[in-house]
Amino acid sequence: MTVAGTPAGDVDLVVVTPVGTRRAEPLPLLLAHDGPEYSRRAHLLSVLRTAVTERRVPSTRVVLLEPGPRNERYAANPDWAEALTQHVLPRVQAAYASDGKPALMGASLGALASLQAEWLHPGTFGSLFLQSGSFFRKRVDDEEDFEHWHRVTRFVTDVRRVRRRRTDAHVVMTCGTEEGNLANNRQMAQALTRSGHDVVLTEAPGGHDWRSWQAAFSPHLFDALGHRPAR
């Protein structure tokens, strides 16, 4: 599917729906930033199929989002947040019946984009699965040469300044103990907790790579998918 004319340009995606289900059958919905890479390199779809068979998660439709111009879209770009919540999601939900609020996941910049989408449009998602988020901060991260450094740090600062809960989404965070984003993930989890958000951070062995992200699916992604608030 291509969703044309969004504030972030045309968005390509693939909807993967369980065998034997119909479009009109309401099912939980999971949207994945960098979806094709999650499928190829972290085996997201096969992991979910096994989890469904083992009755660890409900049968779920998965939207694999093509990143397109990834850094421009995912690096705290409010146009992408609007494109995802106001254009892509309504188009998918018009084509496929969904059960409850969808879940949203992403790794690195994809985790940052996931948090921003719900932050700017609270109430859209029931849960967020954020892996090794690029929650860059001044004096913490040595990433000043990154082209969207100021946009990212400005958004992170805005999140940290909030004193009241902004979203009821269940936030599940994972981060490798051997990677550079560990400090800023700890600080983000602390900031969200202080402002009353429902957040859990798990630190696991590994680095900033697909193998480590796949290893964290069980049980943490399953936790996010098992949190089923009503619409």
31-81 tens-digit pLDDT: 999 999 999 999 999 999 999 999 999 999 999 999 999 999 999 999 999
Please, what is the Cα angle at 151 between 149 and 156, to 5 degrees? 95
Residue (of 68, 65, 91) closest to 13 by Cα position = 65
Global pTM reads 0.96
Cβ atoms < 10 Å from Cβ of 88: 22
Strand partners, 14: 64
Q: Residue 132: left if φ>0, alpha if ψ -120 to 50, beta else—which one?
A: left
Domain layout of the chain by residue ranges = 15-78+96-226
b/e 160-175 (16+ beta carbons within 10 angstroms → b): beeeeebbbbbbbbbb
136-186 tens-digit pLDDT: 998 787 777 888 889 999 999 999 999 999 999 999 999 999 999 999 999
Domain 15-78+96-226 has CATH 3.30.160.20: no
